[in-house]
Amino acid sequence: MRVRCKWVFMASKEGVYRHRWFYTRDAALSFISKPGAAPVATWLGHEVIGLHKGGYGFLLGQSVFTSTKVSCVFMLVSSRSQEAFCCKLYGHWATMSLDHRDLLVVPFRELPSEMDPDTSAKKVDEERRFIRDILKHSREDIANDPNACALMRRMGSDLVVNMFACNFRVDGVINRDVSEANYLNARIYDRLSLKSMSEKLEDTKVIIMSSMLSQKEYGACLTKFKERLGLSGQEDLYVLVNVSMSPFIAPTNFEQVLADTFRKVAEEEVEVRPQPVII
């Protein structure tokens, strides 16, 4: 079988770096050592995976679905089809603090009920509880539920990235200090990230990212987000970020494992109390 490729100059009979070359019967294609590596890799990916709903469409759809559902779980933690891991993760973030005594987890993207002009605390609470119920079902069950499908299409980010932040309560009173919330999120990130080559990957069950939102740059948008977190102040806000990197975990409900692990760490960090300074 001969290689058929329009870019003839990208095919070579011999390869200098043989371990980096892909061989067919009588030709070799270089994916690394030649300037044509990027277009050849793109062409080969399109040929193998396919530019249709059963190829890249399926992979992207699974990643987006997972991301949305996980975000839903995070809104439930504080309170105790194909568009699914990003969507499922959003659901976890949105429900993680539901009925929780001390922990508050709020995704940056508002829930559909929060964006409703006639919204109320009761409507938001009811929607979060409905989302929490959705997270218990398989994607097949969700696909067969018109109400669940309609809600999930409106939830979460339109990308595979979810941004959220945590806050805490002390004796039922929510923290209002932005600096204290930043310290909490920084501690959570410190435990759920890899910062040096000496750290072992297997010791970190969940890996998240972080960012700092500037009050000067985000203005009223960030002020609104702080209000949803129960915070008040002009300081920049430290936030956490998760990205759905794989389309293959949605069928296994692995996002629930991620959410449970995150919640455990967040709850442990919320229990940390600053020691009194003795002068």
Residues 6+ apart with CB under 8 A from 171: none
Q: What is the pLDDT of residue 8?
A: 41
% the chain with pLDDT above 70: 69
Specify which of 16-20, 181-185, 194-198 reaches the highest per-range mean pLDDT.
181-185
- Is residue 72 within 8 A of residue 134, CB to CB? The reply is yes
| 80-84, 168-172, 203-207, range with the lowest pLDDT | 80-84
**Structural element, H or E, at residue 164:** strand 161-170
Residues 6+ apart with CB under 8 A from 78: 95, 96, 97, 98, 100, 103, 104, 105, 106
Band of residue 69 on the pLDDT scale cut at 50, 70, 90: very low
- Phi (first) and psi of residue 122, to 5 degrees: -65, -45
- Phi (first) and psi of residue 105, to 5 degrees: -120, 125
Query: Read out DSSP for 229-246?
Result: HT-BSSS-EEEEEEE---
Assess whether pLDDT exceeds 60 at residue 170.
yes
- Residue 37, SS3? helix
- Rounded CA-CA distance 51/73 in Å is 32
Q: Summarize the confidence of residues 27-54 as an average pLDDT.
A: 72
First to last CA, the chain: 82
Q: Summarize the confidence of residues 19-30 as an average pLDDT.
A: 46
Q: Which two tokens stand for residue 143?
A: 């696909």
Assess whether pLDDT exceeds 70 at residue 27.
no
- Phi (first) and psi of residue 121, to 5 degrees: -60, -35
Q: Residue 106: which of 198, 179, 174 has the closest Cα?
A: 174
pLDDT digits (tens, 9 = 90+) for 241-252: 987 766 665 556
- Rounded CA-CA distance 63/87 in Å is 8
CA distances from 162 to 40, 71, 75, 197, 277 (A): 32, 7, 12, 26, 38
Residues 6+ apart with CB under 8 A from 167: 104, 106, 174, 175, 181, 184, 229, 230, 231
Residue with tokens 């939830």: 155
Rg over CA atoms, the chain: 23
Assess whether pLDDT exceeds 80 at residue 28.
no
Band of residue 21 on the pLDDT scale cut at 50, 70, 90: very low
Q: Which two tokens stand for residue 3?
A: 């290689």
- Rounded CA-CA distance 114/178 in Å is 22
- Rounded CA-CA distance 240/231 in Å is 16
